[in-house]
Amino acid sequence: MSFLEQFGGMALGLLGAGLAAALSGIGSAKGTGIAGEAGAGLLCEDPSKFGKVMILQVIPGTQGLYGLVVWFFASFRMGLLNGAIFDLTVTEGLRYFVACLPMALGGWISAIAQG
């Protein structure tokens, strides 16, 4: 049994889950920064709009939370968080990887666009 057959499925699954959390977090940080810069400029002009600016500041941050939720779900399903680690085949690992990609790319792009 080769190394890829033995550990490749779990590695692909972990890579997908990690990308979902990491890229969503990176996009969230970038989007929050963009919204914060714009909000700071607005609050210098009119401090009474603090509540509205705060809401717009928080919206891109939700994408990072969604990425973490996907990471928790994938890790739990792979058995990493409940102590029963499964032997995943490469095909099963690839399924986890592909299932996590929409959150990874969607969270990254949409969080930046929301900023």
Per-residue model confidence (pLDDT) at position 18 = 96
CATH assignment at residue 67: 1.20.120.610
Residue 8 covered by a domain: no
Residue 12 covered by a domain: no
Per-residue model confidence (pLDDT) at position 1 = 61
Per-residue model confidence (pLDDT) at position 115 = 80
Residue 1 covered by a domain: no
Averaged pLDDT in 10-residue chunks for the chain of 115 residues: 75 94 96 92 91 90 94 92 82 94 94 89
- From residue 10, how far is each of 36, 51, 61, 69, 111 by CA, in Å? 38, 45, 29, 19, 28
pTM: predicted TM-score of the whole model, two decimal places: 0.86
Residue 11 covered by a domain: no
Annotate 65-112 with three-state secondary structure.
Answer: HHHHHHHHHHHHHCCCCCCCCCCCCHHHHHHHHHHHHHHHHHHHHHHH
Residue 10 covered by a domain: no
Per-residue model confidence (pLDDT) at position 85 = 77
Domain residue limits at 92: 17-114
Number of structural domains, the chain?
Answer: 1
